[in-house]
Amino acid sequence: MTSEDLTVRRAAAGDAAEIFALAREFGLTFRPEREAFDAALPQILANPDALLLAAVAEGRVQGYLLGFVHLTLFANGPVAWVEEAMVQTGARRQGIGRALLVEFEAWARSREAGYVAMATRRAPEFYKALGYEQAATFYRKVLR
């Protein structure tokens, strides 16, 4: 795959099956269920504060990124948060993740976000190479 073969665009309802397959590969704590996915997808696509990107190569969705912009009090305005970023196992290390983040960062800047953040334990070298720095410890409490 070359960079000319890769297109990063807003995801559409027609991408549902391929994004769902990637989400199932992504899930660790939760196992994505199709009914819940199908209920959430139209809401995400319609949400002006959400961006769901699809990375398409060779006619297939090879990766996706879901992120949001929201207001904060401490950062003097909005910040952007990457909720999910996934590249198909066989398509990694080909620039897809980088392209997804670059597109998300551009969107976040257009929304005047002060920064982009995410919680992840995966691929720290990848994020550091893109200029991200470790900034906090992530805590969670599973409610279901």
**Tens digits of per-residue pLDDT, 66-111?**
999 999 999 999 999 999 999 998 888 889 999 999 999 999 999 9
Q: Determine the average pLDDT of the residues in 97-126.
A: 91
Mean pLDDT of the 10-30 span: 90
Determine the pLDDT at residue 132.
Answer: 84
What is the rounded average pLDDT of the residues 22-31? 82
Give residue 27's pLDDT.
63
Q: What is the mean pLDDT of residues 2-15?
A: 89
Are 45 and 11 spatial neighbours (Cβ–Cβ below 8 Å)?
A: yes
The pTM (predicted TM-score) of the whole model is 0.90
**What does the DSSP 8-state code read for residue 122?**
S
CA distance 50 to 36: 18
Strands 77-87, 116-118: pairing is parallel
Which of the pair, 3 or 69, is modelled with greater confidence?
69
Beta bridge partners of 63: 55, 87
1 confidence band (pLDDT: 50, 70, 90): low
